[in-house]
Amino acid sequence: GESVGLHLPTLSVQEGDNSIINCAYSNSASDYFIWYKQESGKGPQFIIDIRSNMDKRQGQRVTVLLNKTVKHLSLQIAATQPGDSAVYFCAENISDSGYALNFGKGTSLLVTP
Amino acid sequence: GAVVSQHPSRVICKSGTSVKIECRSLDFQATTMFWYRQFPKQSLMLMATSNEGSKATYEQGVEKDKFLINHASLTLSTLTVTSAHPEDSSFYICSARSRRRGTEAFFGQGTRLTVV
């Protein structure tokens, strides 16, 4: 299930199930979006990105969906594994602007055996 | 992918002292570097943006005299936390971008600062 409170929202899934992590972004001018995975005590690790001229992009076991109409981004992880347990952040940017990435609040994914 | 190295990974310092954190791009020239701060169970918050050879641009609420940023070369940026206090304890992360490598930002492994 998913819970939202003062801490990071947490999504618990069973090993082997698919995971869907959602993110809402704020800047309608953003045209580049990235999903990062962050393990405890480490820097963000790039997972997958998508530009605003696309609405879907697939990688290995991961798919990112972009809905610009409602400014919504999702990350789907197929056949979730224990090693996928981490905090996932979406980030938005105006490409080639030199601006920094703007990070979303993050979702903690917990994969149970 | 490109490699960004951050040093040290952990540092403990006494209140009132200064701490320097280094961020190096190992295999590319970073025209822009970014410094973020992350408190436990929170997202990354941008502190400042620095372009090589020019002064850093600080985000609102970030004291530039307390968090000194130097980006003297295309492969090195430093963040110095001056007169550190316990409330400065946080996870500091740098990232680097290169015009040649397009839009993607590459992140360092972070520095855990604990001020006692």
Structure tokens at A108: 């903690």
SS (HEC) of chain A: CEECCCCCCEEEEECCCCEEEEEECCCCCCCEEEEEEECCCCCCEEEEEEECCCCEEECCCEEEEEECCCCEEEEEECCCCHHHCEEEEEEEECCCCCCCCEECCCEEEEEEC
Chain-chain contact of B43 with A99 (C-beta, under 8 angstroms): no
Chain-chain contact of B107 with A44 (C-beta, under 8 angstroms): yes
Q: Tell me: the pLDDT tens digits for B41-79?
A: 899 999 999 988 888 999 999 999 999 999 888 899 999
Chain-chain contact of A42 with B112 (C-beta, under 8 angstroms): no
Residue A6: pLDDT band with limits 50, 70, 90 = very low
- Judged by phi (left if over 0) then psi (alpha if -120 to 50, else beta), residue A42 lies in beta
pLDDT at A5: 37
Q: Of A26, A37, A101, which to mutate for an interface test with B (greatest number of B Cβ within 10 Å)?
A: A101
Structure tokens at B25: 């791009």
pLDDT at B110: 97
Asked if B52 contacts B39 with a C-beta cutoff of 8 angstroms, the reply is no
Instruction: Please list every residue in chain A whose beta carbon sits closer than 8 Å to the beta carbon of residue B103.
Output: 32, 93, 95-96
Lowest model confidence (mean pLDDT) among A88-92, B16-20, B68-72: B68-72
Instruction: Please list every residue in chain A whose beta carbon sits closer than 8 Å to the beta carbon of residue B44.
Output: 44, 89, 103
Chain-chain contact of A106 with B95 (C-beta, under 8 angstroms): no
Percent of chain B beyond pLDDT 70? 95
Residue A4: pLDDT band with limits 50, 70, 90 = very low
Helix (H, G, I), strand (E, B), or coil: what is residue B105? coil
Chain A contacts to B (CB-CB under 8 A): 7-8, 32, 34, 36, 41-46, 49, 89, 93, 95-96, 98-106
Residues B24-30, mean pLDDT to the nearest whole number: 90
Containing B111, the helix (H) or strand (E) segment is strand B111-115
Chain-chain contact of B43 with A32 (C-beta, under 8 angstroms): no
Containing B66, the helix (H) or strand (E) segment is none
Distance (Å, rounded) from C-alpha A30 to C-alpha B13?
39
